[in-house]
Amino acid sequence: MDNFVVTFARGFGSGGKEIASCLAKELGIHCYENRILTLASQMSGLNENLFKEVNEKIRDNGGFASFMRGLPRARNYIARNEKFVSDDKLFEYQSTIIKDLADTESCVIVGKCADYVLRGRPNVVSIYIEAPRAFCVERTMNRMGVTEEVAHATISKTDKYRAQYYEHYTHGNYWTNPVNYDMTLNSEKVGVYNCVRTIEQYLIIKGLITPDMIRPADHSKLEK
């Protein structure tokens, strides 16, 4: 069968990353998130460690250029590579990596506006995972070992960054708008693992996979 890609956007604490990872494991394909930054660093020639520290959260602090200039070890890179110091240039490299992945292999991609970057491709399915705040807070407290107050603050701050990042690079689209996605799932009501099963059934309906391609994995950790 031809390559297919499943993109994920997710609210913090909703279980979206776990759902994406489990889906990839059951389908025997790669799940890309921060590794896209690593691949972008290889393409650009910038130090990989710098790219690993750059993610969707930096826009609040002045963006990629500001982040880079704040690191003494990065100044020589900026001097030699002025074209790399803008947020838009970083996003351009990420987008190139995402498109190359979609052209060469079936995979799952988490975040990075991948649904927008790959818009219009018939072999791409875009998913948005969200859940009520109380559910996200409880999961965050359990997984991070933090207080309820810290969990609330972490969710608010992270989702704000993601929303701003998405709006900027999609030219005004809203991150939580269900129209942007093939499917929006409430992980509390559907169940975290049942989200995986639902997405798999949708991929079958779309003709992107066949039932025999699914290899059920141990999902005990998803249910906690």
pTM of the complete model: 0.82
Half-sphere exposure of 104 toward its Cβ, with a 13 Å CA cutoff? Answer: 7
Domain that holds residue 18: 5-218
Tally the domains of the chain. Answer: 1
Cα torsion 189, 190, 195, 200 to 10°: value is -160
Kindly report, residue by residue over 83-132, the tens digit of the pLDDT. Answer: 444 567 778 888 999 999 999 999 999 999 999 999 999 999 999 999 99
The verdict on residue 29 lying in a domain is: yes
Residue 82 makes CB contacts below 8 A (sequence gap 6+) with none
Tell me the pLDDT tens digit for each residue of 25-47: 999 999 998 787 777 777 767 65
Burial track 34-49 (b if 16+ CB lie within 10 A, e otherwise):
eebbebbbeebebeee
**Residue 211 belongs to a domain with what CATH number?**
3.40.50.300
Distance (Å, whole) CA 75 – CA 65: 10
Instruction: Answer yes or no: is 94 within a domain.
Output: yes
Helices (H), the chain: 16-27, 35-44, 48-52, 63-69, 75-80, 87-104, 114-117, 133-144, 148-169, 187-190, 192-205
**pLDDT (tens digit per residue) in 191-211:** 999 999 999 999 999 999 999
Asked whether residue 223 is domain-assigned, the answer is no
pLDDT digits (tens, 9 = 90+) for 57-80: 444 454 444 444 444 444 444 444
120-179 confidence digits (pLDDT tens)? 999 999 999 999 999 999 999 999 999 999 999 999 999 998 999 899 889 999 999 999
Q: Is residue 83 part of a domain?
A: yes
219: confidence class by pLDDT, cuts 50, 70, 90: low
* Residue type at 74 in one-letter notation: A
Domain membership flag for residue 202: yes
| Cα–Cα distances in angstroms (integers) from residue 129 to residues 9, 10, 68, 139, 197, in the given order | 6, 5, 32, 14, 14
In a domain, 224, yes or no: no
